Amino acid sequence: MKRIAFLGAGAVFSLLLALSLGTGQINMMHLGQILTGQGVEKTVILQIRLPRVIAGFVVGSGLSVAGAVLQALLRNPLAESYTLGLSGGASLGLCLGIFLRQHSSLPLFAFAGAMVSLVIILMATYRHHFAGATLVLLGVALNFIFSALVLFWLAVARSERFQQGFFWLVGDLSWVSVKALRVASGLIAAVSLYLVMKARTLDALSLGEEKAATLGISVISVRRAMITAASLLAGCSVALSGVVGFVGLIVPHLVRMITGAVHRRVIPGCFLLGGSFLVLCDGLARVVIRPLELPVGVITGFFGGLFFLFLLLGHRGTKIW
């Protein structure tokens, strides 16, 4: 519990830090002063930075929680939010949206794309009782098919559309729409809460399906519920930011190192650390090559990857998985 509180404090700190970062630098200590007063800076913070910071937080949370769920469900350390073909579906949805010039409803296109993958996966679990590695392979196949179609579109798209598509495909938080943010953050919070309540089921499933069944779990329906929950989380995240990679893969591993492996702590831990992680990455993305901004996916991939590599190589004796 202490460790979750520690992660919570970290989350508050990173939210405040991220609010003060940007083109017009604000001292973190003065945040309270600015917000109680009246000024241009207050408008900048509330209207521009706050939605972006919140979006960063819920996207990071959603991806990390989804990653933790899928790693437990598929008993696979490489599973992440997009494993079941969701990123491919979302990317294709985005490209379709850009092609149709539906710029204001791009979040909807991304979400719909992710859900197409979900429906295909669920249909597969109904027809054949797919589980574990087979599901991962199915997701990989879906991702390849969708990415091929995306690449086809990129190859023939005109340059300004290419640029826009590119930002979405690597993940970017600069075009967050407030309407999408409201819906997506509500959904991410609700699904995460559901997963905290179902956390022990995830522990049981990680023992193998046979054992889980004799512990009183209806494995097949629970598996479908968990796949749906993870997909909703990833779908909402993709709708807000495009495809931000790597967060859903590493954050669950980091959280398990901090809180231990019991999902009652891993899920809240992922929510907090995942959110903080992405908010900080986005803060970095805004200041690294000022006044230009990088898409946040570049930062998560590069610095997240370096950090994780450092952990893997530096942590003598501690196995991550």
Partner 1 sequence: MVEQGKQNSSALIYVENLTGGYARRKVVDNCSLVVTEGEFLGIIGPNGSGKTTLVRLLLGILKPFSGKIFYRGENVSERSTLELAREISFLPASLETTFPYTVEEFVALGYLPYSFWWANPRQEKKVIRESLSLVQALELASTLIRELSDGEKQRVFLAQALAQTPKLLILDEPTSHLDIGHLYTIMELLKGLNKRQGLTVICILHDLNLASDYCDRLILLRKGKIFQVGTPEEVLQPEIIEAVYHTQVLVFPSPVTGRPHLFGKKMES
Q: Judged by CB, which is closer to partner 1: 67, or 113? A: 67
Q: Judged by CB, which is closer to partner 1: 160, or 210? A: 210
Residue whose C-alpha is closest to residue 173's, from 68, 52, 258: 52
- Return the residue of 5, 78, 178, 261 that touches partner 1, per CB under 8 A: 261
Q: Judged by CB, which is closer to partner 1: 46, or 133? A: 133
In whole angstroms, how close is the CB of 227 to partner 1 at the nearest point?
A: 18
The answer to whether 213 contacts partner 1 (rule: CB under 8 A) is yes
In whole angstroms, how close is the CB of 310 to partner 1 at the nearest point?
A: 20
The stretch near partner 1 (CB under 8 A) out of 6-14, 260-268, 294-302, 304-312 is: 260-268
In whole angstroms, how close is the CB of 209 to partner 1 at the nearest point?
A: 8
- Return the residue of 26, 124, 154, 203 that touches partner 1, per CB under 8 A: 203
Q: Judged by CB, which is closer to partner 1: 266, or 298? A: 266
In whole angstroms, how close is the CB of 133 to partner 1 at the nearest point?
A: 13
Quick note: the x/- pattern for partner 1 over 47-66, rule CB under 8 A, is --------------------
- Return the residue of 211, 290, 310, 315 that touches partner 1, per CB under 8 A: 211
Q: Are 192 and 267 in contact (CB under 8 A)?
A: yes
The answer to whether 215 contacts partner 1 (rule: CB under 8 A) is yes
In whole angstroms, how close is the CB of 263 to partner 1 at the nearest point?
A: 9
Residue 194 CA to residue 60 CA, distance in Å, equals 18
The stretch near partner 1 (CB under 8 A) out of 165-173, 185-193, 206-214, 273-281 is: 206-214
